[in-house]
Amino acid sequence: MSNIIILGAQWGDEGKGKIVDLLTERADCIVRYQGGHNAGHTLVVGEEKFVLHLIPAGILHPGKTCVIGNGIALDPQALIEEIDDLAQRGIQVGENLKISDSCHLILPYHRAIDKESEKQKGTRRIGTTGRGIGPAYVDKMARIGIRAGDLSHPKIFREKLSQNLQEMNYLMEKLFRAHGFDLESLYAEVMTQGERILPYLADTSLYLWEEARKGSSILFEGAQGTLLDVDHGTYPFVTSSNASAGGALTGTGIGPTMIDKVLGVTKAYTTRVGSGPFPTEQTGPEGERLRERGQEFGATTGRARRCGWFDSVAVRYAARINGLTGIILTKIDVLDHLKTIPVCTGYRIGTRMFTEFPHHIEDLENAKPVYEALPGWNKTTRGIRRWEELPKEAQDYIRWIERQVGVPVIMISTGSERSETITLQEPFPASE
Ligand code: GDP
Ligand code: IMO
Ligand code: MG
């Protein structure tokens, strides 16, 4: 038995989906614990590509149970579309999916408020995915959220919806000067969606605890990344949940003593989607080249991702915040074209040097990265599966990251396919 958290150590899109899909072979349950369909996790299996938003990346493997934990913000419409899309492609979602009855629902007014409030922010907009994530978590914290379990109590659901609409419609009409929502039609719409969702609802905290006691192995699949965490990320340019390791506990109802390992996924360079500081960003041709070679376009919104060099200040910070026990380094092949590779070792802010990640947004916005230039390998690493086959310079690059971050690199991804992976240390013990 081994319970492992896999999470993003940067600003998201590190390749978590590929890694979770790969490691699912050795796991029994795969659990999403925070975020919602703002996530886009890509799995490539042969010629086929799947992009999952809400359903855990273990779903392609028969015989495994996928769980949507209580920490998720669940848009019923998005979930139904994802289930139907998978079914069309021959992947059945039935008994193999369990959804916490305590998940907070994302309703159409959350999406509308997300979009309107972004418009109002003007140049200080966050660049959200427009999926209603923030407003749904606002309601959760304000204790007016509607939970998945409420769908099985139509009277209570209707009362809550009616009360919330008074507030939401006031916001929509008076503050945003937009259309409000009609109670009757919204009630009917969500109740119809509820019929599809109810069969999946369960006490997932209890389920996971029982599974763990039976000796099952559980994979916790993070969404977004540590620097987008609402507490530890580049606030306010973050998402509205805890993408770091703590979220795996509060978002599932599992205690910390049940976690064996915390693995951070990081690219061999850095990307970010949306607004906010990004010290090592390359806005010129070098960033453009990384975007092209890495196909850095959002899996959820299709937006071009901002690209830049590897930032060891940021990843070392993620190692500390999450208590990382191992690093999974992805997309090393994207750097194959470079003769030398700049890597960031610290920030200069005004006259001061920083080797720890600053908390204040203004410091980060003014941070000038200090670079070291490492030799590139300038040959292909695409699809390499054995450490010995990596060029010496690529090995040195990986060892440099390991030293800077202070955590061992246990897997290296050399392509988007499952098989394009080097495993240095098997995350699950050999006996399993
Ligand atoms: P996630 O949100 O962390 O699951 O990552 P995304 O799926 O949004 O973005 C990662 C992208 O990189 C996807 O298109 C993957 O197929 C792709 N990918 C993952 N690992 C590698 C790799 O090692 N090399 C290359 N070239 N692509 C990769
Ligand atoms: P995965 O799981 C990268 C970013 C958005 C925006 C900020 C807030 O695929 O790594 P939100 O809609 O969450 O309120 O937007 O967070 N963001 C992501 N960036 N990968 C993601 O997910 C993201 N999910 C949200 O671009 O900057
Ligand atoms: Mg993604």
In sequence order, the β-bridge partners of residue 341 are 374
Neighbours of 356 (CB within 10 A): 11
41 is catalytic: yes
pLDDT tens for the chain, residues 1 to 432? 799 999 999 999 999 999 999 999 999 999 999 999 999 999 999 999 999 999 999 999 999 999 999 999 999 999 999 999 999 999 999 999 999 999 999 999 999 999 999 999 998 999 999 999 999 999 999 999 999 999 999 999 999 999 999 999 999 999 999 999 999 999 999 999 999 999 999 999 999 999 999 999 999 999 999 999 999 999 999 999 999 999 999 999 999 999 999 999 999 999 999 999 999 999 999 999 999 999 999 988 889 999 999 999 999 999 999 999 999 999 999 999 999 999 999 999 999 999 999 999 999 999 999 999 999 999 999 999 999 999 999 999 999 999 999 999 999 999 999 999 999 999 997 654
- 24: part of which helix (H) or strand (E)? none
> Cβ(15) to ligand 1 under 6 A?
yes
**Residue 431: per-residue pLDDT:** 56
Residue 161 is which amino acid? L
Q: Write down the catalytic residue from 41, 53, 104, 232.
A: 41
Please report, as a single letter, which amino acid is at residue 359.
H
The closest-lying atom of ligand 2 relative to the alpha carbon of residue 223 is: 2
- pLDDT value for 300: 82
Torsion of CA 301, 306, 307, 310, to 10 degrees: -100
Peptide bond into 236 cis (omega under 30): yes
* Whether residue 393 has its Cβ less than 6 Å from ligand 1: no
Predicted pLDDT at 246: 98
pLDDT at 430: 67
225 lines ligand 1 (CB under 6 A): no
Rounded distance, CA 218 to CA 2, Å?
7
The answer to whether the beta carbons of residues 118 and 125 sit under 8 Å apart is yes
Neighbours of 93 (CB within 10 A): 17
Q: Please, what are the domains in the chain?
A: 3-92+203-423 (3.90.170.10), 104-200 (1.10.300.10)
- Cα 16 to middle of ligand 3, angstroms: 8
Number of Cβ within a 10 Å radius of residue 300: 18
Residue owning the nearest CA to atom 13 of ligand 1 = 42
* Tokens 């050399």 found at: 414
User: What is each CA distance from 405 to 101, 222, 272, 324, in whole angstroms?
Assistant: 39, 20, 20, 10
Structural tokens at position 91: 């992947």
Surface-to-core class of residue 51, CB atoms within 10 Å of its CB (0-12 exposed, 13-18 middle, 19+ buried): middle
CA angle, corner 47, sides to 432 and 89, nearest 5? 80
Looking at residue 289, what is its pLDDT?
98
The predicted model scores a pTM of 0.97
| 3-state percent helix, strand, coil for the chain, nearest multiple of 5 | 40, 20, 40
How far is C-alpha 245 from the chain's CA centre? 12
Q: Which ligand has its closest atom nearest to the C-alpha of 16?
A: 1
